[in-house]
Amino acid sequence: MAISYKPTRMEMSRLKKRLVTATRGHKLMKDKRDETVRRFITFVRRNKELRERVEALMAESMQSFVIAKATMSSAAVEEALCYPASAARIGVESAKVLSTEVPRLSYIPTETHGLPYGVLGTSSELDNAVARFSELMPLLIELAEVEKTCNLLADEIEKTRRRVNALEYVMIPQLKDAIHDISMKLDENERGNLTRLMKTKDMLKQKEG
């Protein structure tokens, strides 16, 4: 869609102002994009590292759980775990990474000390498995925070890049074209006017002479 305009001086100065704004906006957006990408990369590296660690530890924890199940009847395991400790809660604050709001999560561990069940009728393997899981928890929370941040930043980067491209390849060239067109038309009018004046002067001279 080309910009519609009237070939007037007013219109041209208006378009010139828009061009200045667009150029400035383009520069800012581009800076924002570059910086967001830089931050994003550091987050993504941490995300990858965390995910690898969590995945490795998770497999171990699950395994220790399987062992626990093998030493006790599965009904007993269910029974031991069906009374959960007081619910785990999580604190959420928000931080800003270049005007993108990202969550900051903090783990608030359950208040019960130790295990959520009695020692009678449960095996030490189960204790072990639960302990492993609770070690894993802070990592899992951090993973959640970092992964969400990465997703939100990726989205923001995509949007910013679209804006940069729209300005660079559509908006700014169209404005430049429009300004060029108007200045050409104005020049042409001026030349037309000049010729007309010269012609009129000639005609007046012939009449007198």
Partner 1 sequence: MYKIAVIGGPDSVAGFRALGLDAYPVQDAQEARRTLREIARPTDDPYVIIYLEETLAAPILDEVRRYDAQPTPAIILIPGRDGPIGIGQEALRQAVEKAVGTNIL
Least Å distance between CB 173 and partner 1? 23
Q: How far apart are CA 197 and CA 185, in angstroms?
A: 18
String of contacts with partner 1 for each residue 161-200, x by CB under 8 A: ----------------------------------------
Stretch that binds partner 1, among 3-11, 126-134, 179-187, 193-201 (CB under 8 A): 126-134
Among 37, 67, 72, 97, binds partner 1 (CB under 8 A): 37
Q: Which is nearer to partner 1, 11 or 127 (CB)?
A: 127
Among 94, 120, 207, 209, binds partner 1 (CB under 8 A): 94
Contact call for residues 182 and 16 (beta carbons, < 8 A): no
Q: How far apart are CA 15 and CA 172, in angstroms?
A: 10
Q: Which is nearer to partner 1, 137 or 197 (CB)?
A: 137
Stretch that binds partner 1, among 19-27, 59-67, 167-175, 185-193 (CB under 8 A): 59-67
Q: Which is nearer to partner 1, 77 or 182 (CB)?
A: 77
Does residue 91 bind partner 1 (CB under 8 A)? yes
Does residue 158 bind partner 1 (CB under 8 A)? yes
Does residue 123 bind partner 1 (CB under 8 A)? no
Non-local CB neighbours of 184 within 8 Å, separated by 6+ positions? none
Q: Rounded to the nearest 5°, which phi and psi values hold at 114? A: 75, -135
Stretch that binds partner 1, among 5-13, 90-98, 167-175, 181-189 (CB under 8 A): 90-98
Q: How far apart are CA 71 and CA 178, in angstroms?
A: 80
Least Å distance between CB 97 and partner 1? 12
Contact call for residues 193 and 48 (beta carbons, < 8 A): no
Contact call for residues 110 and 88 (beta carbons, < 8 A): yes
Q: Decide: helix, strand or coil at residue 96.
A: strand
Quickly list DSSP for 173-195. HHHHHHHHHHHHHHHHHHHHHHH
Least Å distance between CB 10 and partner 1? 42
- Give the β-pairing of 89-97 and 100-108: antiparallel
